[in-house]
Amino acid sequence: MRDKRKKVCFVVCLFVLWAHLFSAPVLADMVATVVWVFDGDTIKLSNGARVRYAGVNTPEVAHDGQPAQPLADEACLLNRRLTRGRQVRIQIDKEKYDQYGRLLAYVFLPDGTFVNSALVEKGLAMVYTTPPNVRYDQDLLTLQRRAMRERVGLWASADPGKEPFYIGNTRSRRFHSPSCHLGQKTGRRNKVIYRNRLEAFYDGLSPCKKCNP
């Protein structure tokens, strides 16, 4: 009986250790030089890694025959001015890569400047929270709300939208048009109804990429 208890205790301890290792945030930092800036939220490092800024989203630059979105070039220029040719510290959250294999990271300059937040503060990036990477979501949202109140950058002429309402999902941190099947599937517990897009942005939600409300 005693041997059996020891065996059970050993298995439980292994399970607890495994759960801790695989659920704890990965926050190891690395330092590298930025050798290329693709757009407002994507860079390439001297070690070959492509980095997509976590927690934010900037307008799309011109690509594949599509014109640049408003202020995309300005966001890219600011990102280039801050980072290109400079050494940066890369901080990783719980989820390390996006669907394209890019490193998801928070980027810091040697003087402590948080590049992700600098873009939000200037109104050149929107908060784009993607759980489980939520380490700085409240800090970024505070800056976005200030930019919205001061009507800077993207918020100078932000479109409130034409739908009668929008469906927010507090779990996915996205909002949808009323006809979006993803929005319609949102559970009551996570559903919030917004009168316009700006209310959803102020709460830190981002547009669904399927219905693009």
Q: Model confidence over 82-134: pLDDT tens digits?
A: 999 999 999 999 999 999 999 999 999 999 999 999 999 999 999 999 999 99
Supply the pLDDT for residue 5: 52
Q: Does residue 3 register a pLDDT over 90?
A: no
Q: Using the predicted structure, report yes or no on whether residue 12 has a pLDDT greater than 80.
A: no
pLDDT score at 93: 96
Known catalytic membership, residue 52:
yes
pLDDT at 64: 83
Judged against a pLDDT cut of 80, whether residue 20 lies above it is answered with no
Q: CA-CA distance, 167 to 184, in Å (whole number)?
A: 8
Q: For residue 200, is pLDDT > 90?
A: yes
Active-site entry in 2, 5, 50, 60:
60
The model's pTM is 0.84
Q: Known catalytic residue: 173? A: no
Report the pLDDT averaged over residues 185-202.
97
Three-state DSSP at 21 gives: helix
pLDDT confidence of 28, banded at 50, 70, 90? low
Tokens of 79: 């990102």
* Residue 89 annotated to the active site: no
Catalytic residue among 5, 50, 95, 102: 102
Distance CA 43, CA 79 (A): 9
Q: Which of 5-9, 37-41, 90-94 has the lowest mean pLDDT?
A: 5-9
pLDDT of residue 16: 39
Closest CA to 171 of 150, 153, 192, 197: 192
Mean predicted lDDT score pLDDT of the chain? 90
Q: Mean pLDDT throughout 149-174?
A: 96
SS3 183: helix
